[in-house]
Each structure stands twice: as C-alpha cells, then as structure tokens.
Amino acid sequence: MDSYQLTDEERELAGMVRDFADEVVAPQAYEADRTKTLSMDVVGQMGEMGLFGLPFPEEYGGQGGDYFALCLAIEALARVDQSIAITLEAGVSLGAMPVFRFGTEEQKQELLPDLMSARALAGFGLTEPEAGSDAGATRTTARLDGDEWVVNGAKQFITNSGTAITRFVTVTAVTGTTDAGGKEISTIIVPNGTPGFTVEPAYDKVGWHASDTHPLTFQDARVPAGNLLGERGRGFANFLHILDEGRIAIAALATGAAEGCLEAAVAYAGQRIVFGEALSTRQSMQFLLARMQQRVHVARLAWHHAARLRDAGKPFKTEAAMAKLTASDAAMDNARDATQVFGGNGFMNEFPVARHYRDSKILEIGEGTNEVQLLVIARALGVA
C-alpha cells in the first residue's frame, strides 16, 4: 500500500473524529479558551470513542490500532481546537506510551486500562528550568532509601499533570553515576497526591489555554522502589525513543492546525466583499490560499511517511524530525496568512484563526525545538 493512501478503516476513523470535532469540540472551543478550562466532558467522550487507546493492544483496553490511526485522530481534532488535540497527544504519547513500552506487566495491567479509557490521565516530567533541549542536564534526583525512591527537584511545562483525573506523572531523575562518570538517569512513576509532590498553579500561557499545564516540585517525595519505569539508567535513552514518536504526532497536530486555518480563510475570502467583489476574486488572495494548501499537503505527506515507517518497524528518527519541522512551519505560516485574510477580525479571539495564531507558536518549540530538528537532520547527513 502506498504510504499516502488511507484504508477504508482509516478513512472511517478520520471521518468519525472530524465529525466529532465539528459537532462537539468546536462549539465549546472559544469558551474553553476564554476561561482556560479543559472540558473533562469532551475528554470523557474521547475516551468512550476509544481515541486514547487507538495504538494499544486490546488486552490492555486498547483498540488494537497503530500510531498512524492515533495521528489521524489528532489531526482531525487540531483543525478546530489544538488544546483538545494536545490533550489526546500527550495523554497517549507521554502518558500511556512509556508505560506500555517500558513498564512491567504488573504496571501495564494496573495503569493502562484507565489511561486508555480516559478514566485517568498521566504526564511525563522531563523538562526542567535548566534542562530543556539539553535534557541530559537533568538535576532532579531520586535516591533509593531502603525500598523507596526519594525524589527531589522541579519540572516545568508538564501537560496533563494537574487535571481532576491525573493519576501520576513519570519523571526523569538522576539515580546515580554511570561507569564512565556521567549521570545515570532513570524514570520514576510518582502518583498524584504523594506527600512532597506538589502540582504548582497552572501557567498563564500565550496559547493552548484549555490544555492543562503545570510546573511540578518534589521535596523528599517517597514512592515504592517498584515505581521504577524500565531499566535503571535507561530513562533518558528510553525517553528519546518516545520523543521521536511524539514528533510524528505533533506533526499531525500541526497539519490539522494548518488545515483549519486554510478552511477558515477560504470560507472568509469567499464571503468578504471588498470594493464590490468577493475577496477571493483577487489573484493575490488566490495565490495566498494556494500557498496555504501547498503547505497542508506537504505537511501531511511528511507525517504520513514518518508514521508508516514507524508502524512498519523501520527507522524513522530523521523522518519524524523532518515531519515536525515541516508541519510546525506550515501551521505558523498558515496561521499568519489566515489572520491577514481576516483583517481586523483575525485579531479578535472569537474567531478560530486568532486562536490558531496564538496556539501554533508552541509547535515550533515543544517536543524538541525546530532548531533541534535541524540538528537531527544534519546529523543524519553526517555534517553535524
């Protein structure tokens, strides 16, 4: 099958989520953004639809699908509301996927069913005040004291970490020293409500207002030794693999945002009368809209290719970086152009293009900055 063609089942899934986005997500998006509130009702409905379980086996409560299916859903949601799309993306890629990839069978049986049904959410604590793109600079520590890990440190920009249904966060922490003298970094599951673990007040963000994002602090937070996720000392390496997958999902989200901007701009240009004619009759406007369509198409091809490689078990690191770079650029460029098409209305938050304009910037930063993507691509070329 050609990488850029959809099966009948995939088309059905994309159509179902697109309808849900238009009928359920879009009507509440402006108010959710204005009040900075994540609708747990919408999250619950997505859980009932099986969206959080798309790429996981049925034995853990999943849908038995693949990562491509998840990305189709994320793209369809991001057309109308990036906050809802990132809630799904982070809930799967950063919440459930590390447990599925690296957890013990006991951890999987205990944690995954609730995560896949959206009865619970989870976050992943990697970024710190002094460790962003340089995640190896992690300062958070976890010291083994008898049969407990004692966690100390701070994390920032952690998605899905403070909702009413957040069950735990998985944090990277320095657990010792390697034979070479470097940091031994492991991942530890810290349940919400653990004494010494504080979810700080939510950020006042530029965009993604309805997405749940908090800084976290740990002061002698004690969890059982069995809360180690994966092999000790493999935390950073394991997360890099999770990050590669996540870049495909972010590329799908960015593609959806770029398409949402295009759809809004085409509709508005056809309705807006300027000097007695529809705005869309102007050749300069036609060319601008054509460029927007080009960006959506190329971004979609890029993430489709990377996702197909991933699901086929083939190397995809470089392709994921290229997809994330291409799609996030497309989202920002289309948001800027769509805002210009809307003129003064594009500066009003009640119009979706204004929300996309604010939301899309983070796509060039999160899940690895675009500069990091360029570095990954350059390394693949052998020039970095």
Region for 122 from its dihedrals, namely left if φ exceeds 0, alpha if ψ lies in -120 to 50, beta otherwise: beta
Q: What element of type H or E holds 318?
A: helix 317-342
Q: Which residues are catalytic?
A: 367
The C-alpha angle with vertex 11 and arms to 6 and 13, in degrees rounded to 5, equals: 125
Contacts of 41 (CB under 8 A, 6+ apart): none
Task: Return the closest-CA partner of residue 70 out of 85, 54, 49, 50.
Answer: 54
SS3 95: helix
Contacts of 203-209 spanning 24+ positions with Cβ under 8 A: 203/157, 206/358, 206/361, 206/362, 207/82, 207/355, 207/358, 207/359, 207/360, 207/361, 207/362, 208/82, 208/83, 208/86, 208/359, 208/362, 209/32, 209/33, 209/34, 209/36, 209/83
Nearest-angstrom CA–CA distance, 286 and 295: 14
* Terminal Cα distance for the chain, rounded: 35
